Amino acid sequence: MTSPAADLETYCTTLTEQTDLLSTHTRTADESLPVPTCPGWTLADLLRHVGDTYAWAERLVRTRAAGPEHLTAGQTAPVTAAHLAATLRAAGPDTELWSPAPPHSPLFWARRMAVEATVHRYDADRALGIPYELDPATALIGLGEWVEMSTLPQAFPSADARRALLGPGRTIHLHATDTPDAAGEWLIDLTGEHGDDIPVRHAHEKAAVAVRAPAAELLLLMYGRRTLADDGVESFGDTALFEEWLKNSGDWSRRP
């Protein structure tokens, strides 16, 4: 079990490392290139979005925001990952502030922005036609966030959409195949046996549907950058349940 301070440092380091790679790969690129995984965007749009999002998160943390502020493109000057990480470290892991989900502290924003950088680096690499490499430990940061978010009411488009997922025997097993222990496995309980709660545990158990892939591939699957039909992704059982869960529990990730 790691400490909040250690987690914050891991997330800040990941944020800066992933953004440094993004910057290196795009430094001399043609910014008019289309980004296939973000329809309608060019590489310039992608980079602007990353900078604007960092600026938004940095302002929320720096001002200890007590409530949400709408993200408006160009509202503030783009912020570098180093600047954002410095603000997060200065605030520390225990400062109370607004976030759309727990923990309501800089820890939420440090992890969220680390994953933002990780996924959008893939988008840039795809646009540039270069290989994307991601170590399992970094991918697990994003997978852990996704699974935690998928249990929360605010992650779904509506209470009805969340409730429609629940029913007898409805369970999902996710397995990151290149991780050494149960840290890369999750059993998501949609049986409805716990009221409206959706319990999750790290476990290797039989489920109604199981999806297996290396951690990086599993993360990209969560964010719609892979499909169950892609090489390296294995699925067994009720794949319609998985697709329904992925679409509805991931509504939060598609909001502006």
- Give the pLDDT confidence score for residue 79 in this predicted structure: 85
What's the residue count for the chain? 256
The pLDDT, as a whole number, for residue 122 is: 98
Which among 210, 208, 172, 171 has a CA at the least distance from the CA of 193? 171
- Round to whole Å and give the CA distance between 37 and 31: 15
- pTM comes to 0.95
- Per DSSP, the residues of 158-189 read -HHHHHHT--TT-EEEEEETTSSSGGGEEEEE
Fold of the CATH domain 4-133: Four Helix Bundle (Hemerythrin (Met), subunit A) (1.20.120)
Tokens (6 digits) for 20 = 């440094």
Give the domain ranges of the chain: 4-133, 155-251
**What is the model's pLDDT at position 247?**
97
pLDDT averaged over 10-residue windows placed end to end, the chain, 256 residues? 94 98 97 97 96 93 90 68 98 97 97 98 98 98 97 96 97 96 94 96 96 98 98 97 97 88
The pairing of strands 234-237 and 171-176 is unpaired
- Closest by Cα among 20, 229, 215, 29 to 129: 29
Q: Please tell me the distance from the alpha carbon of residue 222 to that of residue 157, in angstroms, as a whole number.
A: 16
252 with 149: CB under 8 angstroms? Answer: yes
pLDDT recorded at residue 135: 97
Query: Strands 200-201, 209-213: parallel, antiparallel or unpaired by DSSP?
Result: unpaired
| Alpha helix stretches (DSSP H) within the chain | 4-26, 43-62, 81-91, 106-128, 136-149, 159-164, 215-222, 239-249
Per-residue model confidence (pLDDT) at position 180: 82
The three-point CA angle 49-54-57 to 5° equals: 125
Q: What is the pLDDT of residue 251?
A: 96
- Distance (Å, whole) CA 147 – CA 155: 11
Spatial distance between the Cα atoms of 47 and 193, rounded to a whole number of angstroms: 44
Give the pLDDT confidence score for residue 73 in this predicted structure: 52
Helices 4-26 and 81-91 cross at an angle (nearest 10°) of 170
With contact defined as beta carbons under 8 Å apart, do 79 and 61 qualify? no
Does 155-251 carry CATH code 3.30.1050.10? yes
The span from the CA of 129 to the CA of 36, in Å, is 10
